[in-house]
Amino acid sequence: MVRPLRSLIRIIFLALAAFLAIPGCANGSPNHEVLVQRVIDGDTVQLSDGRLVRYIGIDTPEMRRKVGDVWKLEPEPFAQEATEANRRLVEGRKVRLEYDAQTQDRFGRLLAYVYVNGTLVNEYLLEEGYAHPITIPPNVRFAPRFQAMSRKARAEHKGLWKLGEEN
């Protein structure tokens, strides 16, 4: 009885070690790329399999707002520019998703850091002033880096920071 139990424990341990050795698996990231079907707005995309991905650590002006059960197109200032920047980066392209501590929000969207051709899209949108940082624990891995990138964009009056300091 003891010998089969030891064998089972050894198999489980080896399987776990092999899983953790695969790049990206320890932090929940897939080791493959996914196709972005369409851009919803500056910080949300839809994958080719229908899943929605909300970018971790950033917030962009909203394109739509929900009135009752209906979504109305009512772009906030700079929402179209943020959406177009995101579209130029990822729409119709394969991206790599990297997760943090929490992988889904209360709406069922995936929460991810999104990479295209080695560029961290979340950070790029901050750097160019299309977004501002939003830190929602427990997903805080890049929070200091994102804050610094936003301060730099603001100091350089990039993107939405062209509108003035009242933002």
**Which residues form the catalytic set?**
54, 62, 109
- What are the C-alpha distances in Å from 131 to residues 52, 59, 70, 94? 19, 5, 25, 22
Alpha-carbon distance of 92 to 98, in angstroms, equals: 19
Listed in sequence order, the DSSP H helices in the chain are 2-21, 79-90, 121-127, 143-155
Count Cβ atoms within 10 A of the Cβ of residue 116 and give its class: 0-12 exposed, 13-18 middle, 19 or more buried: middle
Positive or negative, the CA dihedral 41, 42, 47, 53 is negative
Residue type, 73: L
